[in-house]
Structure 1
């Protein structure tokens, strides 16, 4: 399953030493601020075994327009403005279209 319009986001954020859990909590606040009808289909927040300060994000949206509208909304922007004091460096993001999506929970 994949719709030609599905939009994917992959990102990496590096927290200041010892601030990773605060960063994760703030990211969760941001996802919640977007609301249930934002067009965000699924997301994951991941940590690496060998890097205690790095957080990887994966998001799947119904389309780029839903992503843009949600991330520019005031509730999400208010959370986003709180991120910089927790970061050791500028976040990195990569964007694309989902080619294949498989949801094992619906089998």
Structure 2
């Protein structure tokens, strides 16, 4: 399925030692708090070579919806909890999905 107009997010978070599972749970809580039908899909991945690193990929209908959802009060509240469990600020980039299934 072509998706040239879909907005994608790729992020990496490094949890404090032993806190990765809590970060993963909070990522899921943030998705639930956002409740946006415009989040078409997301993937939470753990690194095989680093027990504290979490990678997240999101596919959105558009950037505007992403920005509105992730800056909502409900999502920000969960994000604040998650930031306290990270060794450093999250890193990531934005893109455009050119193909997905």
For the criterion TM > 0.5, the same-fold answer is yes
Aligned to 2:48: 49
Task: Work out whether 1:16 is the aligned partner of 2:10.
Answer: no
Aligned to 1:3: 3
Query: Where do 5+ consecutive residues of structure 1 fail to align?
Result: 103-107
d(CA) in 2 for partners of 1:14, 1:50: 12
- What root-mean-square deviation, in Å, do the aligned CA atoms of Structure 1 and Structure 2 show? 1.0
Shift of residue 36 of structure 1?
A: 4.5
Aligned to 1:70: 69
Q: Which runs of 4+ in 1 moved over 6 A?
A: none
Question: Bigger radius of gyration, 1 or 2?
Answer: 1
Aligned length: 101
Q: Please state whether the residue corresponding to 2:81 is helix, strand or coil.
A: coil
Q: Please state whether the residue corresponding to 1:27 is helix, strand or coil.
A: helix
Q: Is the 8 A contact 1:45 1:55 kept in 2?
A: yes
Q: Please state whether the residue corresponding to 1:43 is helix, strand or coil.
A: strand
Aligned to 2:30: 30
Q: Is the 8 A contact 2:42 2:58 kept in 1?
A: yes
Query: Where do 5+ consecutive residues of structure 2 fail to align?
Result: none
TM-score where L is the length of structure 1: 0.89
